[in-house]
Every structure is written in structure tokens, then in C-alpha cells.
Structure 1
Amino acid sequence: MTERLEWMKKKRRTICASTTKPLTRIEEEVSKDVPDCDKLREMLSILSTKEESLTDIDKGIEDETPTDELEAEIANTQDYQDHILTWKTRTKRLIQKAESERPWVSNASASSVKSLNAQTVKLPKLVIEKYSGEISQWQEFWSQYETAIHNNDVLSKRETFTYLKSYLTGAAARAVAGFTMTDSNYDAAVELLQNRFGRKDIVISAHMSKLLSLTPVKKSSDVAALRHLYECEIQIRSLESLGIYSGTYGCLLCPVLLQLIPEDIALDYTRKSDLNDEWKVHELIKFL
């Protein structure tokens, strides 16, 4: 171990020791029935300063550490950084919640009070489904995640990155597995996910593939199978949100759908439809 590396590790131990105090005070304050938000803000500011110092010293240590020891070194530092990040996120969330629930003291009129009560109604908890890498589900996942977390100004990019990784599984999780929690890596991870799962051409292809691989229904009495077939409307709506309307592919999809439904239902549809007009997907879906 070089003298410089030894000195940096000693400095990191000192910073970690001084970081313990604000962490402990935050944990104690958060555990109270009525936490003091002003104290939490002070400790949060101190903790952020300590975190920046640790990030700088960790980068220097990584640059000086031999390659064969680097993995173990990163693992040791990551746990402590994650601990800091966890408490920063909890503290910010608690402050935000406390401020949103703070009474508004004024001589407001009855209408103003009614308006305030309407604004402070407790909404259901937002649940974002985890994303496994299914391309046809990317749009739905990203729209929820982008609104709730990606565009949340209260969170730092490192905190947002923590949330992002917690919502990814399977192929999506493996795609960003090599990224450490840094601001620049968050941007790189989002770009990678967008390019791999969110490109318009591959999303369109995924929805079309689902439409063309629907399971045929043999009997008109098989209601469960018909309902499953009717779910093709989900793919059609998803395509429309991408600017691909059924009018551009309806003449191809309608014959395919008619071959998938029982003969008596297909015959009934052709009798009731105007054969002089082009087949329209929405009319067939509505008929089903």
C-alpha cells in the first residue's frame, strides 16, 4: 500500500466517524412522534456535505487501489454510501410529508377552508409495477416512473438511481447492473434503458408481434378465450399512443382476427358489416 493510499484511507475513516453523529441525530429525530423539521434540515445539510467529501475521497482511493483489490474496496464503501443515501431519502420524504400536512393558520373564509380540505385529502399510495424487460410494457412503466420519480425535484440523481434499480428485475436489472450510484451513471443508465427497451421502432414491433401471435378461439361458448382475445385492444391502444393508428394496418389485421375467432361469430360479423367499406379494427373490436 502506497503512503498516499494509506493517508486517504485514514482520512476516509475520520470522515466516516464524523458522519456518524448527524446520522444518529437524524435517526433519533425521525423516530419521534413529531419530528422537528428544522433540525432535520440542519442535519441533512451536514450529512450532504459529509457525503460529498466521502465521494471525493472514495474516488481518489479507487484510482490508487490495485485492480485485484478494487472490487472488494468498492463493496466496502458502497454499503456505507447506501446507508447515507437511505437516511437522506427517508428524511426528505418525512420533511415533505410534514410540510404537506402542516395546518394553514389564517382567517380564511369557509370556502377557503373547504378548498384546503380538498387539497389535503389523503390519496391512495402510488404503486409502480416493477419492469422486467418486456418491451411491450416499457411505455406503461416509464410513464409512471417518470411522473412519480424521474421528474421529482426533491430527489437527487443518486437517490433517483436507487429507486430506479429497485423497480428493475430480469433483463432490465441486468442491463444496468454494472453502474455505480453516481449522477452521470444515472443519466447513462436511463439512456441505455431507453435505447434497449424504449426505442419506438422496437416497441411498435413488440406490439405488432403480440397482435400476430394471438391464440385462436375454437368455440363461441369459450368466453374466457374470447375475453383473452379481446385484450388485443391493449396493443392497439398502445400503438395509437405511439402515433400508429389502426387505419394504417386495419386491412391486414382484420382478416387475421377473423381467422382467430369461431366461424359462427366471424360469419355474423361479415353479415352485419358493410362489405363495400374497408374493414376497420375498432368496429371489429366493438363487435366482439
Structure 2
Amino acid sequence: MQSLKTERKIVKDAARKHFQEIEKVGQDDKEKISELLQQVLVKAEKVFSLDNNIKELLCNEEPSDEDFSEEITEEMNFCTEVTKYTNKCNFLLKKNKEAEAEVKNEKRKAPKNFNLPKLEIKKFDGNVKHWINFWGQFRKIDENSDLPDEDKFQYLIQSTEENSPARNLVESFPPSANNYEIAVDQLKTRFARDEVLIQVYVRELLSLVLSQHISPEKSGSTEVPKSRGGSRRANKTCTKQFFFGKRSKNGSG
């Protein structure tokens, strides 16, 4: 049994050297802390195993209450030390991990300074055709959660042309945080309805197709129509040909 106690003392002394190192280690030295924690756990496991062997031998020898009490007290004291320093290591590792996460989060939030040209929002004049381009730029301001609504309202006023229908509509509301969303909703209701946008772009597309279809390059003629009636008839003919294709005299495709 004495040999077991000697071995246990050697292992405990080695563990207590690690305890001293833990007291001195820097809290940012994650690798060293992890290494010390592992070494403490290995030696503690060895000591606890020796404790069990010694207690078994003591029980076989029918020790006095004093001897047994002394053995239990020594075991509990060492267990308390192990708990203290393993907790300290775990605390330092957790703190280190939180600090790393905070640094990563700050880097993610930090604005990237690229030398890009300054973007200027083209002012909206109230023309439905210009709404999509305008809103595609202004929505970056609208969706910016860090910008107060009263500031967004001022940007909205500045982003509309003076004396235009859009500016008149926006300025019909007192410039306040509460009125910002109301002003935006009214702009969308008047200038951004789907059916209106579709109508406008279909007209534009049809006008482009017809102008290309009856252009001198396509028709091979430089003759200008003599009357409005002739022009209308030409446009109607071109429209039918575009949508339905040319038909032969007998009506077959």
C-alpha cells in the first residue's frame, strides 16, 4: 500500500505544478489552457484510480477510523483542487471563444471601404415609365433599418423633381416619421400599380415593334404616307401581320 501512496503523491505533485501554471497562464493563450486542462484531467483520473486501490487495501486491513477519515479527507481535498482548476480552464476557454466570436461579428459589421464611384439617385419626375429605375435605387434607403424614418422622408423629398406630380404628392404630407410610410404607399398606389406599369411597357414595346416593322429599311420603300388614314391603315395592317402573320388570298395560313 505504501508504494501506491508514494505513486499517488508523485502524480498529485505533478498535478499541482499544472495548477500553478494555470494561475499564471494568459487568458488569450487558448492552446496552453487546453493543454493544461487535459494534463490535469489525466493526472486526476490516475489519482482517483489510486485512491480506490488504497481504500480497498485499507478495508482489507480493517483500519482505524482515524486512518480511514484521513484518507477520505485527502481524497476530497484533491478533488476540490481539481474542480477549481478545471472550472477555471473551462471559464478561460469560454471567455476566449466569446471574444473570438465578438471579433468576427465586428469584422462582419465593419463597412468595407471600396473606392467605388458615388451613386446618385435619379430624381423621380412622376412619369410611370421611370418608376422602376427610381425605386430600384431608392429602396436601399427605404430598407435601411439604421436610418430614422424622418430622415428617409427628407431623402424622399430630395429624390423627386421639384414641381413634379411626385414631389407635390410627397409634400402634401407633413415631413415626419409617422407620415413617411404613408407617403411611400401613396406614391406606389399612384405610380407603381402593376396594371398601369404593364400597360405602359406593353405600349412602349408595341410602338417599338411597329416602328421597326414599317421602317424604310424593313419595307425597302422611302415613300411617306400621304394621309393620316393611309398611315392608320398601314399601322393596322402591320399590327395584324405581326400578331397573326401574312395570310394568302384564299385565307389559308
- TM-score, length-scaled by structure 1: 0.35
Instruction: Flag the structure with larger Rg.
Output: 2
